[in-house]
Amino acid sequence: MKAFEGYQVKNLVLKNKIVMPPMCMYSADETGQVNDFHLVHYTTRAVGGVGLVIVESTGVAPNGRISDQDLGIWSNEQLSGLQKLVQSVQKHGAKIAIQLNHAGRKYTGTAGTPVAPSPLKFDENSLQPHELSKDEIHAIVNSFREAAKRAEQAGFDAIEIHGAHGYLVHQFLSPLSNVREDEYGGSLENRSRFLKEILQAVTEVWPAEKPILLRVSASDYVEGGINLEAMVQIINQVKSDLSMVHVSSGGLTPANIKAYPGYQLNFAQRIKEECRIPTIAVGLITEINMIEEILANGRADLVALGRELLRNPYFVLRAANKEQIVVPTQYARAFH
C-alpha to C-alpha distance for 29 and 33, rounded to whole angstroms: 7
> Does residue 163 fall inside a structural domain?
yes
> Does residue 226 fall inside a structural domain?
yes
Q: What is the pLDDT of residue 325?
A: 81
> Does residue 263 fall inside a structural domain?
no
> Does residue 65 fall inside a structural domain?
yes
> Does residue 335 fall inside a structural domain?
no
> Does residue 332 fall inside a structural domain?
no
Domain with 135 in it: 7-252
Distances (CA, A) of 256 to 23, 233, 247, 264, 285: 21, 25, 19, 15, 20
Tell me the CATH number at 212. Answer: 3.20.20.70
Domain count, the chain: 1
> Does residue 290 fall inside a structural domain?
no
> Does residue 144 fall inside a structural domain?
yes
Q: What is the pLDDT of residue 322?
A: 65
Q: Which of 206, 215, 210 is nearest to 19 (CA)?
A: 215
Structural contact between residues 157 and 97, judged by C-beta atoms closer than 8 angstroms:
yes
- In order along its 336 residues, the chain shows pLDDT tens digits of 999 999 999 999 999 999 999 999 999 999 999 999 999 999 999 999 999 999 999 999 999 999 999 999 999 999 999 999 999 999 999 999 999 999 999 999 999 999 999 999 999 999 999 999 999 999 999 999 999 999 999 999 999 999 999 999 999 999 999 999 999 999 999 999 999 999 999 999 999 999 999 999 999 999 999 999 999 999 999 999 999 999 999 999 998 899 999 999 999 999 999 999 999 999 999 999 999 999 999 999 999 999 999 999 999 999 987 667 888 889 888 876
